[in-house]
Amino acid sequence: MDDRLDGIATFVQVVDAGSFALAAERLSLTRSAVGKAIARLEARLGVRLLQRTTRSQNLTDDGQVYYDSCVRALAELDAAHTVLEGGRMEPRGRLRVSVPISFGHLCVAPLMLALARQYPSLKIDLSFTDRRVDLVEEGIDLAVRIGPLSDSATLAARKLGVQYTGIGAAPSYIAEHGMPDHLDDLVGHASISYSVAGVTSPWDMRDDDGYARRIEMDPQLSMDDLQAITAAAVAGFGLARLPTWLLARHVKRGELVVVKGRCRLPPLEIHAVWPKTRYMPSKIRCAIDALVAGVPGLLAD
């Protein structure tokens, strides 16, 4: 048997990860198994590929040359696999997707469930987090992001839509405290604010003339979860700034009323992002297509 490919993918993963431990985690192997694979590869080639110390690892000159060649070879193999995969009727394999918590639950998960039903051989691993994950570092195939995209030479993106923000409150709260007509009327109202690690987001808005205004709110409740904020607003605890795709759901049910529509805040673009690759696997392509087709309708307010 030709064993020339044995250990190559492991070697590339070790270099890309920067450590044996992280490479082992990505490959679902033990650190010992990864170390042995690299040792066998070096013995077979008769050269040292990595210069290892207790604190770091670096490519040797021979290792750098071999790494560059391996990356090109694996890219060609991936391309060949993608060409074959493109001829299949059904996307398959594991698809790791990272989504924001609330938007993921309400807008992305239903689309992924429909995709899983359509393609039984597609194994979708959906992760809910408001943390901005490193797709390459954490082995994520696809992510949904709300807000400005960080400049990255390693990621591609597709716009899915735009998120606006509105202010809502329970009908019972408005009946007791009155409907604010202007931005200045918001001051003194009870509110529920979004906070992360104890830092509460300010209520920055624009007035009717387009000028930026910071409204000084003194929230009794601060939370780092949009659905919990919504539940508090529905329970009558005060005004809440919410994405209109979330606010609209509760307005239609009669649980909230719109205090300020869209708040004159700059909208936030929503994108699907994925690691750049010369050939896109069909499992990623079909997920992007599902998001592009389904998200705009869910954002309608």
DSSP β-ladder status, 239-243 and 257-260: unpaired
Q: What pLDDT score does 184 carry?
A: 81
Q: Tell how far CA 250 is from the center of its chain.
A: 25
Between 3 and 145, where is the model more confident?
A: 145
Confidence at 230, pLDDT banded by 50, 70, 90: very high
Distance CA 84, CA 91 (A): 11
Q: At which residue do the structure tokens 């391309």 appear?
A: 79
Verdict on whether the full-model pTM lies above 0.95: no
Distance CA 264, CA 207 (A): 7
Compute the average pLDDT of residues 278-296.
Answer: 89
Confidence at 84, pLDDT banded by 50, 70, 90: low
pLDDT per position as a tens digit, 96-118: 999 999 999 999 999 999 999 99
Q: How far is CA 1 from CA 5, 7, 9, 39, 66, in A?
A: 11, 14, 18, 19, 22
Distance CA 165, CA 262 (A): 5
Q: What pLDDT score does 1 carry?
A: 40
Compute the average pLDDT of residues 189-206.
Answer: 82
Is 90 exceeded by the pLDDT of residue 218? Answer: no
pLDDT per position as a tens digit, 31-83: 888 889 999 999 988 999 998 876 678 889 888 999 888 888 887 777 676 66
Q: For the chain, give the mean pLDDT.
A: 86
Within 10 Å of residue 280's Cβ, how many Cβ atoms? Answer: 16
